[in-house]
């Protein structure tokens, strides 16, 4: 499968990570959510979360991003558990600044900042039976990439056939606004860190091993992550 920058193989990962296509409806949620997610909105009591991030701060942090190629709407932060809001935290590690650490057991992604601190993002991760661990690195990056469904998916879900030559980048595209492709020893692992616009998936295991951040968080991480950045995926 070919992405818009001529990269092969990404389609298989994307299909694996996004089961549950509803008949007659081909959209971002149908690729991402499936039956593993049945969450209602998480109510927020009061003005300040238990992590010390105010509701107003969260609304600002996850506000609209109008200057994108495809303007990104604000996140409904009432659908995100406050502990998954982006924040700077203490994090002791021997890994170098810039390293990304994925903690699927706690639904977090960390970017090591140095001096005992890290930026922490809430995430969705692989569901039971599809989680993995080990070291990788960012082999390539893409903004608003075209998504191509693999032949296996088209066989199972014929409505995807209209995208056999690629689904253009956009808000409904499963890859989202930004994607980091994970490699080991020069080979694409079929796993990514990608952008999701489905806030209710944060803090859940829904994918086949990929890791999703809210679009605003993914843009924040993407801008700070060059190709060759080390990625450590911890055991769940």
pLDDT tens-digit profile of 111-138?
999 999 999 999 999 988 888 999 999 9
Give the CATH number, domain containing residue 194.
2.40.440.10
Domain membership flag for residue 51: no
Would 180 be classed as within a structural domain?
A: yes
Residue 150 near residue 15 (C-beta atoms within 8 A): yes
pLDDT in tens, 61-78: 999 999 999 999 999 999
On whether residue 45 sits in a domain, the answer given is no
Evaluate whether residue 43 is within a structural domain: no
| Residue 54 falls inside a structural domain | no
The residues near 218 (Cβ < 8 Å, ≥ 6 apart) are: 176, 177, 178, 193, 194, 195, 196, 212
Closest-CA residue to 130 (of 187, 206, 209):
209
pLDDT tier, 4 (very low <50, low <70, confident <90, very high otherwise): very low
pTM over 0.85: no
Judged against a pLDDT cut of 90, whether residue 224 lies above it is answered with yes
- Supply the pLDDT for residue 174: 84
Residue 132 lies in a domain: yes
Looking at the predicted structure, is the pLDDT value of residue 29 above 60? no
Tell me the pLDDT tens digit for each residue of 37-63: 333 333 333 344 445 688 899 999 999
Residue 158 lies in a domain: yes
> Which of 136, 114, 93 is CA-nearest to residue 233?
136
> Which pLDDT score, from 0 to 100, does residue 17 have?
38
- Assigned domain for 129 exists: yes
The domain containing residue 144 runs over which residues? 10-35+86-233
How many independent structural domains does the chain possess?
A: 1
Residue 207, pLDDT score: 84
Cα dihedral 103, 42, 40, 175 sign: negative
- Residue 168 Cα to chain centre, angstroms: 18
């Amino acid at each position: 499968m070919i992405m818009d920058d001529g990269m092969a193989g990404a389609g298989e990962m994307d299909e694996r990570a996004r089961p549950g296509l509803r008949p007659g409806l081909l959209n971002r949620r149908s690729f991402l959510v499936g039956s593993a997610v049945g969450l209602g909105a998480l109510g927020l009591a009061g003005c300040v979360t238990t992590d010390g991030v105010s509701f107003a701060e969260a609304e600002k942090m996850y506000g609209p991003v109008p200057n994108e190629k495809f303007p990104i709407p604000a996140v409904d932060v009432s659908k995100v558990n406050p502990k998954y809001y982006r924040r700077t935290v203490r994090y002791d590690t021997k890994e170098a600044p810039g390293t990304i650490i994925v903690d699927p057991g706690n639904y977090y992604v960390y970017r090591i900042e140095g001096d005992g601190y890290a930026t922490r993002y809430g995430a969705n991760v692989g569901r039971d039976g599809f989680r993995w661990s080990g070291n990788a690195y960012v082999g390539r990056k893409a903004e608003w990439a075209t998504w191509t469904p693999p032949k296996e998916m088209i066989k199972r879900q014929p409505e995807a056939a209209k995208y056999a030559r690629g689904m253009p980048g956009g808000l409904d595209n499963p890859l989202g606004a930004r994607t980091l492709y994970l490699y080991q020893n020069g080979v694409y692992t079929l796993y990514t860190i990608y952008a999701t616009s489905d806030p209710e998936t944060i803090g859940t295991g829904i994918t086949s091993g990929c890791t999703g951040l809210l679009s605003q968080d993914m843009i924040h991480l993407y801008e700070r992550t060059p190709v060759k950045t080390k990625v450590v995926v911890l055991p769940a």
